[in-house]
A and B are shown apart, each in its own frame.
Chain A
Amino acid sequence: MKRGLVVLEEWAPAELRARVEALQQRLAERGVEAAAIYGDVHRSGDLTYLTNLCLYWNEGLLLVPAEGEPTFLTKLSPRVHPWMRATSTVADLRSGPDLVRLVVEWLSGRQPAVLGMVERGWWPAPLLRSLAVALPGWRLQDLGPVVREARLRPSPRELALLRESAAVASRAWRAGAAGLTPAERTASAERAARERGVEDVLVQASDSWLEVVAEYRGYWTAIAGGLGTTPDPAPLTAAEARLRPGVSRRALETDGVSVLHHVDLETGGDHRPQEDRDLPLEAGAVVALSVGRPGARLTHTYLVTAGGPERLTGSQEGA
């Protein structure tokens, strides 16, 4: 759960504004009045990407109008608004137990038009269906993974954060590897990551294996490997050799290899669109390659470049 450091960096407001404006441009092109993005404590990467919001508990909705400032609707108490304003770029925060009612109030005064639902299929069905009833005249249009698509191409700032995230994850892995028992390994990795200021870290350990998946300033990276007996690295090495711009995930995912974009690490790829498997990886993408089964897999995080992959996690003496 998200109980680590939450910080709004000094440079962030300008870049986050540009991200929101890019989304607003797409909304305007599609004739969409506003985009609605659902998030919960398990999956809130899109919200963080656009606003730096940390949804540390419960559920919420980010509403981004085609023109104007975003609004965040949350089931959390108004008492957390000052903290959310201090750690995000959202000024308009509204709380209540009923998200449908909050959306209806936010749209009141607007002429019925198109409300874009980001990844509509992952919205809680009762919320989605209640909105359809509560908003007569409005058309609820699926915008698909429109925010995720933007997140697949990290900016220079984002790439710097991904590098830092990978460094933190690698350091945590090495700290954990020194432990004598799985509990000690988990404890040491957690502390190392949290002392370096992660928002969240997911650690799994066994007698002979350790995995660290860390979120630093909203950016996830992963590293996993064996302790003493290393999983066979050959399939990963082979996949690494094929990791170039233009290659698809499907082409890489042979011999037990799996590929996750950094944006999908938050949820282990469970919400990943199936069609994504055939899309070519772009230069500048950051992905985690894994081989082996859970509990014994080998994982590293890479930057895809025209000259070949750059491994961001670990080192020869690491995982």
Chain B
Amino acid sequence: MVTVQILMNEPPPTSEREARYGRLRRGMADHSLDALLLYAAGWRREYVRYVTGARLRASFALALLPLAGDPVALVASEEDRRAVEEAGWVADVRPLHPLRLDPPRGLRRMGVAHLELMPEAILARVEAELPGVELTSATSLVDAVQRVKSPWELEQIRGAARVCEAGWEAFVRALTPGVPEYAVVAAVEHELKRLGAEDNFMLIASGGREVMGMTPPGQRRLRVGDLVRTELTPQVNGYWCQICRTAVVGEPDAEQRRSAELFLEALEAGLTAVRAGVTADQVARAENDVFRRHGYGEYCTSRYTRVRGHGHGLHPDETPAIVEGDRTVLEEGSVVIVHPNTYTPLAGYHVLGDPVVVTADGFEPLLATERKLFQVAP
């Protein structure tokens, strides 16, 4: 059983702030931007957290980082004001309403991260504050900056990985015939929160060959012979880490074993392809080639699956998407999960995935959990 010390949510050190601002400002210079405006929607707060070091809770927030000069945070609640002040990275904290940007002198072109999600009510006020300033999306710029993690960030993700392992163990312990899916999620949630997780993204599916994908839990009760699949993704001190595993209630049948062998071979092929300098396409192709070689190539298409992995960090589903055709080059220090999750007629939807840190000559595995089909005695 995994032993995990309860993790405390600590603000990042100020050295981390200087490194992040430096990376963002180099990106701004490369894209001829005089400033960056980072938007946090209620479900996409990662950019503002990256710049402020603060855990925010309101539905909106902004952070303004000029090419030179001090950053500004604009928050929608007193609670968020305190969070930014306590993090200690941004001294100038203002209310979001009414909006007052005080644009840096000479501002002509500003990148907006998560411009695509910014509500009309906020963007219209930003535009009114900045007449004559060209606004352009900086979402991909900030994504690229955040892809490579600092040593401090990697430590947080390693901590989240320990919580991931414990969450999977709690999942397996909860698998008993007759238990409804939502009670399994409740047991996992208890363990993750007990260990200090801020949040969790989790999907589940139980049943046999008819299962085509995963969703939030239902009232279905587990039966002997079921495969029970999950991806669970705790967030610890801001950083998400994901595990994908499948368990069988009782003895696996021959096709479930065959399915497990196929997915293990695909996962290991994908992991073998991972190293700094390869593209997301190459990793996806390595996974999919295993399915093609065994006659299951059609199940690697969007009809049956979404991606063959993805990045994570301050967001659970960061770039790059590990899919054929994505030419994003994996960089040393980035974190990706490789997961060849898909449906096949062997045993229905099957999941198996491991997050790794990309290194110069391969990868550092983040999980110690066995890569196998777990069995639960009925």
Chain A interface (Cβ < 8 Å from any Cβ of B): 1-7, 40-43, 54, 56-57, 77-80, 82-83, 87, 120-129, 181, 183-184, 186-188, 190-191, 194-195, 197, 199, 203, 267-268, 270-271, 293-295
Contact = CB atoms under 8 A, between A and B. Distances in A.
A111 B187 CA distance: 53
Nearest to A58: B43
Contacts of A125: 115, 118-120, 122-124
A121 B58 contact: no
A40 B41 contact: yes
Contacts of B124: 125
Nearest to A189: B193
Given A125-B120, A195-B186, A268-B77, 6 more contacts: A5-B219, A79-B303, A122-B121, A124-B119, A294-B77, A294-B79
Contacts of B187: 191
Interface bin, chain B: 35 or more
Contacts of A78: 303
Nearest to B190: A191
A194 B216 contact: no
* Leading 4 A-B pairs by shortest Cβ distance: A42-B42, A194-B186, A121-B121, A270-B59
Nearest to B191: A187
Contacts of B201: 1, 3, 57
Interface in B6-23: 6
A48 to B, nearest CB: 13
A183 B196 contact: yes
B185 interface: yes
Contacts of B200: 1, 3
Given A3-B202, A121-B121, A123-B120, A190 B186 contact: yes
Contacts of A82: 212
B292 interface: no
Contacts of B78: 293-294
B219 A7 contact: yes
A120 B120 contact: yes
Contacts of A267: 42, 59
A126 B115 contact: yes
Contact of A187 (B76, B121, B194, B213): B194
13 contacts: A1-B200, A3-B216, A3-B217, A4-B217, A79-B212, A120-B120, A121-B120, A124-B119, A125-B122, A129-B120, A183-B196, A270-B58, A270-B77
Contact of B57 (A120, A126, A268, A271): A268
Given A183-B193, A268-B58, A293-B78, A3 B42 contact: no
B221 to A, nearest CB: 13
Contacts of B185: 3-4, 194
B85 to A, nearest CB: 13
A80 B215 contact: yes
Given A82-B212, A191-B186, A124 B59 contact: no
B305 to A, nearest CB: 8
B304 interface: yes
A195 B180 CA distance: 10
Contact of B190 (A1, A7, A188, A270): A188
B199 interface: yes
A7 to B, nearest CB: 6
Contacts of A186: 193-194
